[in-house]
Amino acid sequence: MSIHINNFYSNVLQRFVETRVILPEPMDDTGNVMKEFTTGSKRIPTVWLLHGLGGDSSIWLRRTAIEQLATQYHVAVVMPQTERGFYTDMVNGPKYWTFLTQELPQRMQFIFPLSQAKEDNYLLGNSMGGYGALRWALTYPEKFNSVAVLSPVTNLSEFRNEQSHIMPDFDLAFDRNKLSNSNVDIKYLLDNFETSNSLRVMMSTGSDDILRKMDYESKEQFEKVFKDKFTWRKDDGQHNWTLWNKQLPIAMDWLFKEGE
């Protein structure tokens, strides 16, 4: 594997941004690592891995075994950095949603040999990154095979009311009057989702997770829309990396084994 720290100027954010990318070693048609580096047209399956509130482009590499898992499944992993912007075009701040969904994939697929095919693209995120991954998948299901989220924020209104102490800057990101019945709302996206789409969804939470209440409530909504394409699990644990380290290998296995 190789790890790349990529800095490029974002025309959307109007500043330089950092994205970390894990790339697998090139392999031949028999599945063996190539001893000589050659050029070719083969494109790599990709996991777009989103960080949570307070995280950055390095957090998954520092706190989890994502590099080993990327090696195991022979996939690229793209880890962007979007500060505390909740992966949205902020009311008072940068346009992180436009950056994430438009500029980032185009730039990464231009620089690295990443596949653009729906069947080769996966989303994964935790907490705030879980919200971003779900919103991205539900808005553009034609672009992704599957999405797995760990302790995701699925109800912005409840998060704002119940967790204001960890995000006092919430109103910089969202208009409080447009948290529901709009394209930033997970329930709204579910209500308007085309059920014939082949997108698969996995959601995990912790028994003592601070977001478990909204996760339990959203479980029924996802089951109704996705039916047998939705997977739910609960593990002992809290809203922290101890829980997510337990869930990450399970989520990666689900992404790549269940879809075979």
pLDDT digits (tens, 9 = 90+) for 131-177: 999 999 999 999 999 999 999 999 999 999 999 999 999 999 999 99
- Checking if the pLDDT of 258 tops 80, the result is no
Element holding 134 (H helix, E strand): helix 128-139
Confidence of residue 257 (pLDDT cuts 50, 70, 90): confident
Q: Where are the domains of the chain?
A: 2-24+42-257
pLDDT at 28: 61
Give the residue from 90, 81, 204, 195 showing the smallest Cα distance to 138.
Answer: 195
pLDDT at 38: 56
pLDDT at 34: 60
Element holding 170 (H helix, E strand): helix 170-173
Place of tokens 């912005």: 156
CA distance 236 to 221: 23
pLDDT at 206: 97
**2-24+42-257 under CATH 3.40.50.1820, yes or no:** yes
Q: Residues 77, 248: contact at Cβ < 8 Å?
A: no
Place of tokens 């494109």: 43
Average pLDDT of every residue of the chain:
93
Burial (0-12, 13-18, 19+ Cβ within 10 Å), 115: middle
What is the CA angle 131-221-245, rounded to 5?
Answer: 45
The per-residue pLDDT for range 207-216, each reduced to its tens digit, is 999 999 988 9
3-state secondary structure of 84: coil
The per-residue pLDDT for range 40-86, each reduced to its tens digit, is 667 899 999 999 999 999 999 999 999 999 999 999 999 999 999 99
Confidence of residue 19 (pLDDT cuts 50, 70, 90): very high
The per-residue pLDDT for range 86-120, each reduced to its tens digit, is 999 999 999 999 999 999 999 999 999 999 999 99
Confidence of residue 27 (pLDDT cuts 50, 70, 90): low
The per-residue pLDDT for range 165-207, each reduced to its tens digit, is 999 999 999 999 999 999 999 999 999 998 878 999 999 999 9
Q: Residues 13, 99: contact at Cβ < 8 Å?
A: yes
CA distance 19 to 82: 9
pLDDT at 36: 56
Structure tokens at 100: 């994430």
Tell me what percent of the residues of the chain surpass a pLDDT of 90.
87
Give the residue from 79, 76, 64 showing the smallest Cα distance to 25.
Answer: 76
CA distance 226 to 1: 35
CA distance 135 to 118: 16
CA distance 89 to 165: 22
CA distance 245 to 46: 20
- Checking if the pLDDT of 226 tops 80, the result is yes
What is the four-CA torsion angle of 12, 18, 19, 25, rounded to 10 degrees?
Answer: 130
Confidence of residue 25 (pLDDT cuts 50, 70, 90): confident
Q: Residues 21, 98: contact at Cβ < 8 Å?
A: no
